[in-house]
Amino acid sequence: MSSKSYNPYANAQAQFDRVAEMIGLEQGVRELLRQPMREYHFTIPVRMDDGTTKIFKGFRIQHNDARGPAKGGIRFHPQETEDTVRALAMWMTWKCAVVDIPLGGAKGGVVCDPHNLTEGEQERLCRGYVRQLSKVIGPWNDVPAPDVMTSGKHMLWMLDEFETIVGGRYPGMITGKPVGMGGSLGRTEATGYGLIYVLREALKELGIKPEDTTASIQGFGNVARHAAKMYQTIGGKILAVSCWDNADKKAYTFVNKEGIDVEAMISITDTYGSIDKEKAMDMGCEILDGEAWLEQDVDILIPAALENQITLVNVDRISKSVKILLEGANGPTTPDADDVIKQRGIFLIPDFLANAGGVTCSYFEQVQCNMNYYWEKDEVLDKLNTKMTAAYKAVSELAKRRNLYMRDAAYVISVSRVAQAVKMRGWV
């Protein structure tokens, strides 16, 4: 199902409206929170290596900054749209609120395919992006980070451009920087590890031992890879991984019923998450269609790629064996498919709770930058574990007490916190 049929912004607003109704949110607060506070849309001219100039479209959308500077990643994707970025910005506000860190929500995007850009072109694109935004981003306004197809090297080019324009050193202007250049140890692993910290809590609650479980993952980029590693560490077995094959322009699912060796799989995967098919077959994997990850007889499904992947069209492909849906991506389940998940009684760990480990560690990175004192990796991961566990417990406790679906419980906590902040500031 293409993402065109589902508009993520409409989905994000529909989810919000339901919860606003449920908690009886006042009209002014409701209107303010159901849309972004500020949007920047611009063009970025980039001198290409062949001497021509290409014009890229860029966005930065700040949904809400009542609880602190706006925060959220920048995606590079050929199908990026304003509405996707709007939805993602809104989800960032809820994400920072659910883990109770003093940050708001924003998101950025550039319509581009980094597979087709050289290092130099990517650097000039990053610098051009920051030149368009230097007045409205920064450590106390809006703090970007990596996301789909961006990484530490892009963050450092952006930081360097910002510091060149503004003059001085502002390491807290952006997070996800390389370690040694203001980045935090553990940041690369944080989103994936965070997913498994909350999964561990859910399994405990459901009385299931991690070593008795199996999982199927969609995506094999940064989030999925680290989630897979940590899941293996707690004893789980991964039976399937689905990923995009850039050469064939389609996705495949790699299945090994004996269990996939994650380290070996990573060694045959490129930076964007495409797996080498021949080498995977040598490793004993069977190769199936891109959606086959959904119908594997596993206990846990982990969509950790893009939005709108589980839809009304494919939700029935989910195997009867599935007990938990752990949303690693932002917005992977469309609202109509979500209704089916709920009816089937699959235990959901919703996206903005499950994948909040990344932004939580970004917050730790900012704290370290501001102190100019860097923590050891264990210290960072310990703090991450504490935050994620507390957030999970608060959501699950509310869900049980008020008999709510986990997504609704997470929303109730986040929206109430942000509503309180806008009211205390006297905005409404």
> To the nearest whole angstrom, how small is the minimum distance from the Cβ of residue 104 to ligand GLU?
11
Smallest gap from Cβ 231 to ligand GLU, in A, equals 19
With binding defined as CB under 6 A, does residue 307 bind ligand GLU? no
Angle at alpha carbon of residue 15, lines to 10 and 19, rounded to 5°: 140
353 vs 414: CA distance, rounded Å: 10
CA-wise closest residue to 18 among 10, 351, 394? 10
- Applying CB under 6 A, does 149 fall inside the site for ligand GLU? no
Least CB distance to ligand GLU at residue 275 (A) = 22
Structure tokens at 332: 């992977």
Residue in 219, 262, 265 with CA at minimum distance from that of residue 242: 219
Rounded to a whole number of angstroms, the minimum distance from the CB of residue 362 to ligand GLU is 3
Residue whose CB is less far from ligand GLU, 213 or 330:
330
Residue 44 in tokens = 């970025």
Least Cα distance to 388 among 208, 193, 108 occurs for 193
Figure out which of the listed residues 13, 81, 122, 175 binds ligand GLU, where binding follows CB under 6 A. Answer: 175
Least Å distance between CB 72 and ligand GLU?
5
| Beta-bridge mates of residue 74 | 108, 146
CB distance 215 to 299 below 8 Å: yes
Task: Indicate whether 156 belongs to the interface with ligand GLU (CB under 6 A).
Answer: no
- Yes or no: say if 217 and 302 are a contact pair by the CB < 8 Å rule: yes
- Interface with ligand GLU in residues 324-363 (CB under 6 A): 330, 355, 358-359, 362
Taking CB under 6 A as the rule, does residue 158 contact ligand GLU?
Answer: no
Residue nearest to ligand GLU (CB): 73
Nearest CB to ligand GLU, comparing residues 148 and 422: 148
Instruction: Kindly state whether residue 200 participates in binding ligand GLU, applying the rule CB under 6 A.
Output: no
Size of the site for ligand GLU (CB under 6 A): 12
192 bridge partner residues: none
Q: Which is nearer to ligand GLU, 145 or 388 (CB)?
A: 145
Minimum CB distance to ligand GLU, residue 187 (Å): 8
Q: Identify the CA nearest to 414 among candidates 202, 105, 100.
A: 100
Q: Show Cβ contacts of residue 117 under 8 Å, excluding neighbours closer than 6 positions.
A: 125
Q: Please spell the DSSP secondary structure of 354-420, one letter per residue.
A: HTTHHHHHHHHHHHHHHHT----HHHHHHHHHHHHHHHHHHHHHHHHHTT--HHHHHHHHHHHHHHH
> Which one, 88 or 318, has the nearer CB to ligand GLU?
88
Terminal C-alpha separation, the chain: 40
Give the Cα separation of 60 and 413 in Å (integer). Answer: 26
Q: Provide the mask over 62-81, with x wherever binding to ligand GLU is found by CB under 6 A and - wherever it is not.
A: ---------xxx--------
Closer residue to ligand GLU in complex, CB, 227/359 = 359
Q: Which is nearer to ligand GLU, 71 or 226 (CB)?
A: 71
What track of x and - describes contact with ligand GLU for positions 81 through 120 (by CB under 6 A)? Answer: --------------x-------------------------
Tell me the closest approach of the beta carbon of residue 285 to ligand GLU, in angstroms.
Answer: 29
Q: Does 183 bind ligand GLU (CB under 6 A)?
A: no
Backbone phi, then psi, for 114, in 5-degree steps?
-60, -20
Of residues 175 and 256, the one with the C-beta less far from ligand GLU: 175
Residues labelled catalytic: 107
Kindly tell me which of 73 and 219 has the beta carbon lying closer to ligand GLU.
Answer: 73
Q: Is 171 in the site for ligand GLU (CB under 6 A)?
A: no
Query: Quick one: three-class SS letters along 14-46?
Result: HHHHHHHHHCCCCHHHHHHHCCCCEEEEEEEEE
**Is 368 a binder of ligand GLU (CB under 6 A)?**
no
Q: How far is the CB of 74 from ligand GLU (least distance, A)?
A: 8
Residues lying near ligand GLU in the complex (CB under 6 A): 71-73, 95, 145, 147, 175, 330, 355, 358-359, 362
